[in-house]
Chains A and B, each alone.
Chain A
Amino acid sequence: MALLTSPSRSTAPAVPPSPGPVRSAVGSRVLGGVSQGFLLVWGAMVVFPLLWAVLSSFKSDQDIFTSPWSMPSRWRWDNFSRAWNESHIGSYFFNSVVVVCCGVVLTLLLSSAVAYVLARFEFPGSRVLYYVFVAGMVFPGFLALVPLFFVVQNLGLLNTYLGLILVYAAHGMSFSVFFLTAFFKTQSKELAEAGLVDGCSHWGVLFRIMLPLARPGLVSIGIFQFLGMWNEYLLPLVLNTDEKRYLVTQGLANIAVTQGYHSDFSGLFAGLTISIIPVLAVYLGFHRQISAGMTAGALK
């Protein structure tokens, strides 16, 4: 048995080391070492720019120019207050929070209603309806950009929170309906039927039994939508041209592009750090659900 000849380990390897000649054992150790090396190098390449940006946000402009590689000579927290107030990152941040939170809640409300109906009831056209919603995931958003702008303008919703919230929610529905329909289908029919027998209305079953049971699914899709909406760039760029209403990604990109590097380097790094940190926090807190949710979408 291969397993018996391998050196004992606490965790049983899925692929036991080759029991064959020594040459191959050495070869596989070298291969393992080399691949470990590449893994480390890639990890460093991912972390380094981020770490550099965060460290630079604590430096003075002088420090950034003269010693980009060292630790800050003095930790300058005032970069952050300057970015927050003078570069308006604070108000952009507030705009993002309003739009994204309302957008996520509205997406969840609308898509759980649709998903519940599609998962639990057979009616003429229900398959077609499902495909109409899911098709939204496949079409490139660019095709609809020009007409979307005029739809929003004609409704008088350009440069408003409501306009962005509605557009975000509508565009978030495709994936959420797809995900939640599958989720509601896995829930037991017996509970719903028991509820109906006990005299609950359809509404009562939905709100008292099914939605509370669907909490884990709603949480995963909520996190997923939060990240997607927080990171959106194209939609606010087109639908939200009033500088006071800028969202944080849009505002930061605007500062970086228009002011260039020469005005307030450290303030820009602080702004960048401010916009990275919430996403980093959400990601580290929920990384299991996030990668599961994203790969579930990809493996559809």
Chain B
Amino acid sequence: MHHGKYRFIVGLLLVPLAVYAVFVISPYVQAFPIAFTNWEGLSASYDYIGFGNFVTLFHDSVFWVALRHNLFLLVSLPIIIVTLSLFFSAALNYRGGVPGARIYKVVYFFPGVLSIAIVGVLWQFVFEPRNGLLNGFLRAIGLDSLARLWLGDGKTALGSIMAVVVWGGVGFYVVLFTAAMAAIPKELYEAALLDGAGAMQTFFRVTLPLIWNTVQTALAFQVIGALDMFALVKILSVGPGGPDDATQVISLYMYTNAFSYGKFGYASAIGVTLFLINMILTLLTFRLTRRERVEY
């Protein structure tokens, strides 16, 4: 009986574990040693150069520009997206649900299921200087002076890409937050009302503390997302990384180093650095946003 049980377990696990080990575990493990080599281009030979790549990285101005952009996105995107989503969720839940709340949620969520690559191509059209939707709209309402090159102008390029992230990201968090808000017992709202709390007070004193765990998860998601940004930046940037590296981010810089320049050792060092930053920031996010969980 027991013999049969273990044969069954091994039989079921063998193939999945092999596939997972080869295509997921082994690449993660290999990334670290490769980061300490000078592996370049097509040659199969390479030497271990210790922390050489990391020293180079430290003096690489493009890396610092990219890192600065990532950190800027990391701070600004969560604030914008979470604030907007909380506002929309609260509005949808206003007095227990506005008319059409279900339709709003379906519509808002839609960009979230579209491929980021498709979203990128779509917005490339929206930002197109001559016939794009955005400049066309501005001209149509008489604001010609606001029409710009958007992606081609170093001053607006990164902001334009951020707008796309917000456009695509809000819906997911609206659904997430409304689900969390719906789980709050109605008695709490009635009690707040009897105590004379207004809509604002109710939101900040009742709703927000009770969904804080969900907000925290959302922030952690944003941290991971803000360090990636690859597909949008790759598709929307003019050239690799925008005019004058105006939209350069670490993931794109890593990709370019590996698959355009063939600097595999250097690219892996960027990957490992990105990984460490990611880990620190994720832990930090959970630390900073930790609060007593409110039981209800």
Interface residues of A (CB under 8 A from B): 2, 11-18, 20, 24, 27-28, 31-32, 35-36, 38-39, 42-43, 45-50, 52-53, 56, 64-65, 68-69, 110-111, 113-114, 116-117, 121, 123, 129, 132-133, 136, 138-140, 142-152, 155, 166-167, 169-171, 173-174, 201-203, 206, 227, 230-234, 238, 249-250, 252-253, 256-257, 261, 265, 268-269, 272, 275-276, 279-280, 282-284, 287, 290-291, 294-295, 298-299
Known A144-B24, A276-B114: A269·B16 in contact at CB below 8 Å: no
What is the CA–CA distance of A52 and B132 in the complex, to the nearest angstrom? Answer: 10
Residue from B94, B111, B189, B218 having most chain A Cβ neighbours under 10 A: B94
Which residues 149-202 of B have a CB within 8 angstroms of A? Answer: 167, 170-172, 175-176, 179-180, 186, 189-190, 193-194, 196, 198-199, 202
B82 to chain A, nearest CB (A): 13
Known A15-B189, A234-B230: A146·B109 in contact at CB below 8 Å: no
B253 to chain A, nearest CB (A): 11
Q: Chain A residues with Cβ under 8 A from B175's Cβ?
A: 291, 294-295
5 pairs from A and B in contact (CB 8 Å cutoff)? A15-B193, A68-B131, A140-B227, A142-B274, A298-B217
A148 to chain B, nearest CB (A): 4
> 1/0 per residue B218-245: CB within 8 Å of A?
1001001001101100110000000000
B92 to chain A, nearest CB (A): 7
Interface SS of B by simple majority: helix
Q: Chain B residues with Cβ under 8 A from A269's Cβ?
A: 125
Asked if residues A113 and B13 are in contact (CB atoms below 8 Å), the reply is yes
B20 to chain A, nearest CB (A): 5
Q: Chain A residues with Cβ under 8 A from B218's Cβ?
A: 298
Asked whether B112 is an interface residue with its Cβ less than 8 Å from the other chain, the reply is yes
Q: Which residue of B lies closest to A294 (CB)?
A: B172
Q: Chain A residues with Cβ under 8 A from B126's Cβ?
A: 49, 52
Determine, out of B28-36, B57-65, B71-79, B288-296, the stretch whose residues face the partner at the interface: B28-36
Asked if residues B91 and A140 are in contact (CB atoms below 8 Å), the reply is no
Known A15-B193, A24-B198, A295-B179: A69·B19 in contact at CB below 8 Å: no
Q: Chain A residues with Cβ under 8 A from B255's Cβ?
A: 145, 238
Interface SS of A by simple majority: helix
What is the CA–CA distance of A227 and B109 in the complex, to the nearest angstrom? Answer: 13
Q: Chain A residues with Cβ under 8 A from B93's Cβ?
A: 14
Q: Chain B residues with Cβ under 8 A from A11's Cβ?
A: 96-97
Asked whether B22 is an interface residue with its Cβ less than 8 Å from the other chain, the reply is yes
Asked if residues A171 and B24 are in contact (CB atoms below 8 Å), the reply is yes
What is the CA–CA distance of A238 and B105 in the complex, to the nearest angstrom? Answer: 35
Asked whether B26 is an interface residue with its Cβ less than 8 Å from the other chain, the reply is yes
A46 to chain B, nearest CB (A): 6
Asked if residues B23 and A167 are in contact (CB atoms below 8 Å), the reply is yes
Asked if residues A261 and B24 are in contact (CB atoms below 8 Å), the reply is no
Asked whether B115 is an interface residue with its Cβ less than 8 Å from the other chain, the reply is yes
Q: 4 nearest interchain CB pairs?
A: A14-B96, A231-B115, A35-B91, A170-B23
A97 to chain B, nearest CB (A): 15
With contacts A16-B193, A39-B92 known, what are 13 further pairs, Cβ within 8 A?
A: A14-B96, A14-B97, A14-B189, A39-B91, A143-B275, A152-B23, A201-B4, A252-B118, A252-B121, A253-B234, A272-B121, A280-B110, A282-B113
Q: Chain A residues with Cβ under 8 A from B97's Cβ?
A: 11, 13-14
For A253, give its contact among B22, B105, B120, B176 (CB under 8 Å): B120
A198 to chain B, nearest CB (A): 15
Asked if residues B19 and A166 are in contact (CB atoms below 8 Å), the reply is yes
A17 to chain B, nearest CB (A): 7
A195 to chain B, nearest CB (A): 13
Residue from A147, A234, A294 having most chain B Cβ neighbours under 10 A: A147
> 1/0 per residue B1-25: CB within 8 Å of A?
0001110110011011101101111
A260 to chain B, nearest CB (A): 9
Asked whether B98 is an interface residue with its Cβ less than 8 Å from the other chain, the reply is yes
For A249, give its contact among B12, B115, B125 (CB under 8 Å): B115
What is the CA–CA distance of A140 and B275 in the complex, to the nearest angstrom? Answer: 7
What is the CA–CA distance of A167 and B26 in the complex, to the nearest angstrom? Answer: 12
Residue from B20, B34, B234 having most chain A Cβ neighbours under 10 A: B20
Q: Chain B residues with Cβ under 8 A from A146's Cβ?
A: 31, 34, 258, 264, 267-268, 271
Asked whether B106 is an interface residue with its Cβ less than 8 Å from the other chain, the reply is yes
What is the CA–CA distance of A139 and B25 in the complex, to the nearest angstrom? Answer: 11
Q: Which residue of A lies closest to B12 (CB)?
A: A113
Asked if residues A140 and B167 are in contact (CB atoms below 8 Å), the reply is no
Asked whether B104 is an interface residue with its Cβ less than 8 Å from the other chain, the reply is yes
For A203, give its contact among B8, B96, B133 (CB under 8 Å): B8
Q: Chain A residues with Cβ under 8 A from B251's Cβ?
A: 142
Q: Chain A residues with Cβ under 8 A from B227's Cβ?
A: 140
Asked if residues B24 and A142 are in contact (CB atoms below 8 Å), the reply is no
Q: Chain B residues with Cβ under 8 A from A18's Cβ?
A: 193, 198
